[in-house]
């Protein structure tokens, strides 16, 4: 398979997609923005071309141009020839005929791509109705259900009639992929197709795209910031920076010997998880292997308590050492480092700081099923604690309950049973009036910034909203100054304050979401996939910013992510969720480097690494682990 992937698209056939001299600029209130400059690329049948680069580099603009999805404010030059037809000169009717049949697109943000008032089955069948108007309702339903099953949505026949809000973020992403696959297009433009997916489902989706490429000779244009995904799927790679094409090369050449300095920096910024060799994980999972401890019952929680409980500063220092971070230890010693008495790290900010900030005991979260439908048990008997100054990483598949737990801690979901205390306040059966004063002590970074920002407000108004709600005494000038500082902290120019959310790329909106989350200097920050939409260089900067802020203010954090390498970088302890149950928890170094549960082993083996040669081996091992499980 690895040899086959290297030769795809290299058989001399004409390109199914030919981009020549593409030039795109946008008229904005702040002046023209040149998004793409003189770009030329070709994609042949059966080839996977990955386009990578920072947010704002022009990746998504290039992808949307392929389907003629550029707004009227854009000025476009050059040519985009799709299966023999020039997209840029096509009429509206011709474009409608091309979309879906010749090319389809997997959009980056499923919450905005899906219509909330229609069922997902109806939306998947929408393209089928447009191209096959004589198809019966039964035929359309059968094809939509088949597309849902193809992307791994369980119980597709019943969930065909669900609405988007009834799916998790990762499941909604799979629905969008099903929409793109339904008509069998010759070119699939996949804009961050695995952004919201956990690593096991991500591996399945990448296998699906690879099989689709092999079986139907479909060309794929992959837009992504995940270099592990690039190493796993791509045949060739194009690197973009601020609208310019930096370099192109086959995937193995680019990773082994990048020519340009920018490409080298991009690869160096990729977070890597140092774990047990995947071959060892596979051996342990075989019957009779050494992994008998991993074959525990699904409901059993393996809790590691390798360190004695001490004060919050002691726990923070030990956690920093466990993940190789000298920065936290330095922060602890700051008063003796000659920085002056004013530079001392703040101590606990409330009398109850020695108690856990969050404590869950037998936590149950159940969503009513409605008339004729059973209740849905999203969280089942979960136990964990988050100490002051501690970062607790929560990982697991989409739909495992990670976001549900985070929202329950913030009072956005109702806890149904057991116990959940936040700052000592019981959340089971809580009253909003009693909990409201605690909200300003909690920051929240939502998974999908496009859905969490008001499109009618400027970035300045969105980021400054916590000040408006919780600090009404703050004057307008002071609020603007603080917003400018926050934007600078997340590496965005102050001029972006006057833009609207739709004028920013996905990664730029995510940075604004992080700025809003830390606006009030929270004691507890709930970060739900805070770097899922960020390219690797910006992700590295934002993660370093997150760590610096956490070390300075010692706020507790619940860090929800499907990226195990990111969790490993930041978390003191890690919990692994599966179908609402906490299977394993403990110090991150132990859970991720010496997993005990078979499911945790599969998670680690499914994590793509930014090395095409190693990833080819890992892919086969991960498949073996999934098969054995």
Top CATH class of 353-588 equals alpha beta
**Residue of 349 and 362 predicted with greater confidence:** 362
Q: Which residues of 144-170 are buried (b: 16+ CB within 10 A; e: fewer)?
A: bbebbebbbbeebeebbebebeebbbb
What is the distance between the alpha carbons of residues 567 and 619, in angstroms, rounded to a whole number? 21
What is the distance between the alpha carbons of residues 401 and 377, in angstroms, rounded to a whole number? 9
Q: CB of 59 within 8 A of CB of 52?
A: yes
pLDDT at 629: 57
What is the distance between the alpha carbons of residues 39 and 255, in angstroms, rounded to a whole number? 22
CA angle 259, 43, 191 (to 5 degrees): 85
Most confident of 176-190, 470-484, 608-622: 470-484
Same fold, 1-102+187-210+219-268 and 353-588: yes
**Residue of 531 and 559 predicted with greater confidence:** 559
**Residue of 450 and 579 predicted with greater confidence:** 579
Query: Comparing 306-315, 386-395, 415-424, which segment has the lowest mean pLDDT?
Result: 306-315
pLDDT at 533: 62
CA nearest to 455, candidates 109, 171, 106 = 109
Provide CATH code, domain 1-102+187-210+219-268: 3.40.50.300
Confidence of residue 332 (pLDDT cuts 50, 70, 90): very low
Structure tokens at 168: 């998790």
Query: Comparing 184-188, 241-245, 457-461, 605-609, which segment has the lowest mean pLDDT?
Result: 605-609
Confidence of residue 540 (pLDDT cuts 50, 70, 90): confident
Q: CB of 48 within 8 A of CB of 208?
A: no
Query: Comparing 190-204, 302-316, 330-344, 365-379, which segment has the lowest mean pLDDT?
Result: 330-344
Long-range contacts of the stretch 239-242 (C-beta < 8 A, 24+): 239/52, 239/53, 239/263, 239/266, 240/39, 240/51, 240/52, 240/53, 240/57, 240/58, 240/59, 240/62, 241/53, 241/54, 241/57, 242/54, 242/56, 242/57, 242/58
248 has pLDDT over 90:
yes
What residues does 380 pair with on adjacent strands?
364
Read off the DSSP letter of residue 493: -
Tell me the pLDDT tens digit for each residue of 116-137. Answer: 999 999 999 988 888 888 889 9
285 has pLDDT over 70:
no
From its phi and psi, is residue 102 left (phi > 0), alpha (psi between -120 and 50) or beta?
Answer: alpha
Q: Summarize the confidence of residues 581-598 as an average pLDDT.
A: 88
508 has pLDDT over 90:
no
Q: CB of 23 within 8 A of CB of 6?
A: no
Confidence of residue 300 (pLDDT cuts 50, 70, 90): very low
A 10 A CB-CB count for 82 gives 26
Tell me the domain boundaries of the chain.
Answer: 1-102+187-210+219-268, 112-184, 353-588
Confidence of residue 278 (pLDDT cuts 50, 70, 90): low
Which phi and psi angles does 193 have, rounded to 5°? -70, -15
CA nearest to 64, candidates 42, 85, 95 = 95
Does residue 269 sit in helix, strand or coil? Answer: coil
pLDDT at 12: 58
Confidence of residue 183 (pLDDT cuts 50, 70, 90): confident
Query: Comparing 9-23, 307-321, 348-362, which segment has the lowest mean pLDDT?
Result: 307-321
Interstrand relation of 302-303 and 556-560 (parallel, antiparallel or unpaired): unpaired
Tell me the pLDDT tens digit for each residue of 53-98. Answer: 887 788 889 988 998 888 888 889 999 999 888 999 888 888 888 8
284 has pLDDT over 70:
no
pLDDT at 51: 94
Number of residues that this document lists for the chain: 629
Q: Which residues of 44-59 are buried (b: 16+ CB within 10 A; e: fewer)?
A: bbbbbbbbbbbbbbbb
Q: What's the mean per-residue pLDDT of the chain?
A: 80
pLDDT at 162: 95
What is the distance between the alpha carbons of residues 23 and 4, in angstroms, rounded to a whole number? 34
pLDDT at 6: 40
A 10 A CB-CB count for 89 gives 11
Q: Summarize the confidence of residues 380-392 as an average pLDDT.
A: 94
Does residue 304 sit in helix, strand or coil? Answer: coil
Most confident of 174-178, 198-202, 534-538: 174-178
Read off the DSSP letter of residue 276: S
Structure tokens at 13: 């056939």
Most confident of 264-273, 389-398, 596-605: 389-398
């Amino acid at each position: 398979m690895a040899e086959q992937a290297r030769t795809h698209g290299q058989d001399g056939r004409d390109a199914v997609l030919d981009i020549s001299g593409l030039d795109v600029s946008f008229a904005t209130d702040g002046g023209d923005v040149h998004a793409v400059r003189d770009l030329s690329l070709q994609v042949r049948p059966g080839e996977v071309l990955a386009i990578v680069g920072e947010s704002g580099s022009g990746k998504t603009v290039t992808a949307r141009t392929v389907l003629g999805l550029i707004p009227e404010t854009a000025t476009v030059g050059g040519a985009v020839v799709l299966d023999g037809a020039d997209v840029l000169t096509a009429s509206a009717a011709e474009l409608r005929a091309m979309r879906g049949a010749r090319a389809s697109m997997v959009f980056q943000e499923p919450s905005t791509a899906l219509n909330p008032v229609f069922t997902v089955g109806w939306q998947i069948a929408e393209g089928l109705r447009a191209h096959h108007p004589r198809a019966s309702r039964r035929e359309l339903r059968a094809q939509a259900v088949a597309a849902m099953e193809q992307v791994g949505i369980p119980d597709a026949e019943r969930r065909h009639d669900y609405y988007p809000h009834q799916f998790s973020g990762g499941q909604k992403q799979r629905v969008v992929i099903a929409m793109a696959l339904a008509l069998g297009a010759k070119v699939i433009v996949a804009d961050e197709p695995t952004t919201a997916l956990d690593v096991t489902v991500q591996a399945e989706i990448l296998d699906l795209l690879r099989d689709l490429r092999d079986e139907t000779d479909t060309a794929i244009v992959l837009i992504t910031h995940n270099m592990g995904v690039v190493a796993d799927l791509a045949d060739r790679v194009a690197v973009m920076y601020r609208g310019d094409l930096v370099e192109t090369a086959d995937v193995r050449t680019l990773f082994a010997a990048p020519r340009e300095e920018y490409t080298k920096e991009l690869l160096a910024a990729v977070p890597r998880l140092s774990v047990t060799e995947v071959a060892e994980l596979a051996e342990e999972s075989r019957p009779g292997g050494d992994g008998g401890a991993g074959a525990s019952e699904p409901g059993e929680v393996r809790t590691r308590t390798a360190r004695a409980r001490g004060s919050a500063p002691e726990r923070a220092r030990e956690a920093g050492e466990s993940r190789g971070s000298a920065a936290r230890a330095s922060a602890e010693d700051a008063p003796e480092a000659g920085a002056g008495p004013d530079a001392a790290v703040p101590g606990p900010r409330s009398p109850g700081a020695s108690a856990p900030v969050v404590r869950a005991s037998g936590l149950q979260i159940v969503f009513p099923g409605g008339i004729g439908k059973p209740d849905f048990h999203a969280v089942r008997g979960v136990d964990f604690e988050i100490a002051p100054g501690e970062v607790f990483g929560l990982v697991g598949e989409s739909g495992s309950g990670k976001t549900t737990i985070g929202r329950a801690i913030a009072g956005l979901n109702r806890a149904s049973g057991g116990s959940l205390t936040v700052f000592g306040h019981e959340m089971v059966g809580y009253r909003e009036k009693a909990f409201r004063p605690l909200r300003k002590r909690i920051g929240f970074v939502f998974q999908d910034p496009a859905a969490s920002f008001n499109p009618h407000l400027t970035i300045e108004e969105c980021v400054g909203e916590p000040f408006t709600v919780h600090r009404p005494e703050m004057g307008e000038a002071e609020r603007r100054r603080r917003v400018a500082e926050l934007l600078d902290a997340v590496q965005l120019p102050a001029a972006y304050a006057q833009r609207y959310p739709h004028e920013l790329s996905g990664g730029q909106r995510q940075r604004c979401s992080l700025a809003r989350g830390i606006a009030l200097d929270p004691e507890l920050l709930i970060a739900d996939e805070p770097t899922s939409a960020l390219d690797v260089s910006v992700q590295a900067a934002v993660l370093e910013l997150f760590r610096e802020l956490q070390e300075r203010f010692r706020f507790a954090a619940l860090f929800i992510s499907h990226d195990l390498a990111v969790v490993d970088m930041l978390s003191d302890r890690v919990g692994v969720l599966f179908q609402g149950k906490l299977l394993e928890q403990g110090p991150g170094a132990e859970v991720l480097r010496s997993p005990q549960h078979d499911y945790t082993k599969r998670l680690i083996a499914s994590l793509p690494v930014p090395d095409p040669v190693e990833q080819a081996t890992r892919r086969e091992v991960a498949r073996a682990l999934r098969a054995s499980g």
